[in-house]
Amino acid sequence: MNNSPLSTLVKYTYVRSDLVYRISLLSEFFDFVFFTDHDSVANKDIIERFSGSRKEPQKDIDFLKSLPQAFMEMFTRDSFHEVLGGMSGELQQLPILSLAVPVTFPPEHTEAIGKWARKTISLDTMLDISVDESVYIGCRFIWENIIHDFSIDHYFNLHKDDLYTRLSSPIPVTART
């Protein structure tokens, strides 16, 4: 995947659903570039026109503007659907770290987790984050088809007999003087 178009997107995208969204955004953008009435060249001016015609969120426009011109030149009118389809296929091959957390994380926390995963696990690891309120403290993650449960509920269930025994035991009273 080193020199593929997907590697450009993966470099700064840590969550699988964000990457799927960005590939979809690129499809809309290149449809605009190649099938509307203007020069069929992807550049900063076309991004501005695309933004004005579609009312895309600023973060999407900033993302498109951040892409290098060499990336944009990989797409032609005849090949862009095939290239985007290839990117989607490559995405299916990336290692996925599925993470269940109790609340939605702010983007900077998600990015920090993504950077850690890429440094620790694999350079192209993608996160698949879901919010699961049953994991009210801690987290659960799946890596290589093995679930790792670090939720407090898991630990309570794991040690419930010992907890019940301790909670039902009389509390020793010490004499006061």
pLDDT, averaged across the chain: 86
Q: Give the separation between CA 38 and CA 16, rounded to whole angstroms.
A: 33
| More confidently predicted of 99 and 154 | 99
The predicted structure's pLDDT at residue 95: 92
The predicted structure's pLDDT at residue 12: 83
Kindly state the DSSP code that residue 173 receives in the 8-state scheme: P
The predicted structure's pLDDT at residue 1: 58
Closest CA to 116 of 102, 127, 105, 130: 127
| More confidently predicted of 163 and 66 | 66
Q: What is the pLDDT of residues 19-51, one digit of tens each?
A: 999 999 999 999 999 888 766 777 778 888 888
Which token pair is 90? 């490559």
Residue ranges of domains in the chain: 5-92, 95-162
Q: What is the pLDDT of residues 81-117, one digit of tens each?
A: 999 999 999 999 999 999 998 889 999 999 999 999 9
Say whether 52 sits in a helix, a strand or coil. Answer: helix
For tokens 């670090």, name the residue. 150
Cα–Cα distances (Å) from 163 to 104, 136, 153, 159, in that order, read: 31, 19, 13, 6
Q: Give the separation between CA 95 and CA 109, rounded to whole angstroms.
A: 20
Examine the pLDDT at 2 and tell me if it is beyond 70: no
List, in order, residues 6 or more apart from 1 with CB less than 8 Å away: 7, 10, 90, 93, 94, 124
Examine the pLDDT at 137 and tell me if it is beyond 80: yes
Per cent of the chain over pLDDT 70 is 97
The predicted structure's pLDDT at residue 39: 67
The predicted structure's pLDDT at residue 38: 66
Examine the pLDDT at 177 and tell me if it is beyond 70: no
Overall average pLDDT of the 125-129 stretch: 93
Global confidence as pTM: 0.79
